[in-house]
Amino acid sequence: MSFTFRHLLDAEALSRDEITFLLDQSGAFQGIQKQPLKKLATLRGKSAVLAFFETSTRTRISFGTAAARLGADTMNLQAESSSTQKGESLIDTVRTLEAMRPDVIVIRHAASGAPHFVAERLGIPVVNAGDGLHEHPTQGLLDALTIRDRLGRLDDLNVAIVGDIRHSRVARSNIHVLTKFGCRVTLCGPAMWLPPEMAGIAPNVRIEPCLDRALDGAQVVMVLRVQTERLQEPALPVDEYIRLYQMTPERLRRARPEALLMHPGPMIRGLEIDPAVADSPQSCVLEQVTNGVAVRMAVLYLLTSGAGSHAADIQAG
């Protein structure tokens, strides 16, 4: 089975079959990360704009690495030096970038829906690398790939996501990906970060403020990053968050013994996660990073290769 994608804007719009196809394609690119020579010429002559209107290190480097390994060139826009600082509108900025004739644009923006807005107006494929509080679809895909590799399947898993659910696009993309495979997702965190309406964004999602109960029987545990400026002290002091929600070895024992421990990074040891958990055999944090490059290679390949919409029947040479 094969699918054609025009953009990658959110995980919500992807079907289960499309996600499976994207993960299978990513699997082919995982092998390349292990080769001594990792650089392909597949997208030679093509270029990708990495338009990061919001600061990012990991995701930007991951997309940049993916493009480089496919042989594509990248044009970088970074928030700090962006002309948006000078008052230019988003659409003017991306139209300027498009005028340099790239083949794909990867966008991160603080406004939810910005990539959709751009996709409707530009003639090139758009990849959402994180938009506001909405989605981060490649993170959802790379997490799913990591789970599928480790557990051998994605179906019907019990998944707990812990931390700042409200502000997490990682949580939203994961919910949309995993529930399509019948996973039951439990969201856990302090009340101010746990909006009740999150339970309604997909089937089989529930809210559980008590961490021990949320972890009970979990096969996958995702710990989200905590940004201390969002803790709104004194409402919830850091010490209190650590006491109630830090993932410690004792807490993790509430989950299944084989449960995976995931974190999208950057990880703050001693805050949301105990170092012993971060370095445990259950942790897949670094696999997530490696798989991120493979998933992004697959996405860039699928969006930029091929000339038309209908497969030509050719005799292999």
Partner 1 sequence: MPTREKTQLLTAAQTGRTIQRLGHEIVEKSGEGHGVALIGIRRRGVPLAQRLARTIRAETGAAVPIGILDITLYRDDLSLVAAHPVVQSTDIPFAVDDRDLILVDDVLFTGRTIRAAMNGVFDLGRPRSIQLCVLVDRGHRELPIEASFVGRRVDTRSNEVVDVHLEEVDGEDRVMLLERVP
Residue ranges that bind partner 1, judged by CB under 8 A: 2, 4, 25, 27-32, 35-38, 40-42, 45, 70, 298, 301-302, 305-317
Cβ atoms of 41 and 317 closer than 8 Å: no
Q: Shortest gap between Cβ of 170 and partner 1 (angstroms)? A: 26
Q: Shortest gap between Cβ of 192 and partner 1 (angstroms)? A: 44
Nearest residue (CB) to partner 1, 104 versus 157? 104
Q: Shortest gap between Cβ of 138 and partner 1 (angstroms)? A: 17
Nearest residue (CB) to partner 1, 29 versus 241? 29
Task: Count CB neighbours of 251 within 10 A.
Answer: 18
Q: Shortest gap between Cβ of 291 and partner 1 (angstroms)? A: 14
Q: Shortest gap between Cβ of 154 and partner 1 (angstroms)? A: 18
Cα–Cα distance between 141 and 25 in angstroms, integer? 11
Cα–Cα distance between 291 and 143 in angstroms, integer? 8
Residues ≥6 apart with Cβ < 8 Å to 146: 260, 262, 284, 287, 288, 291
Nearest residue (CB) to partner 1, 1 versus 200? 1
Nearest residue (CB) to partner 1, 15 versus 305? 305
Minimal CA–CA distance to 202: which of 168, 218, 179, 184? Answer: 179
Nearest residue (CB) to partner 1, 278 versus 302? 302
Cβ atoms of 234 and 273 closer than 8 Å: no
Reported as half-sphere exposure (CB side, CA atoms, 13 A), residue 193 has a value of 27
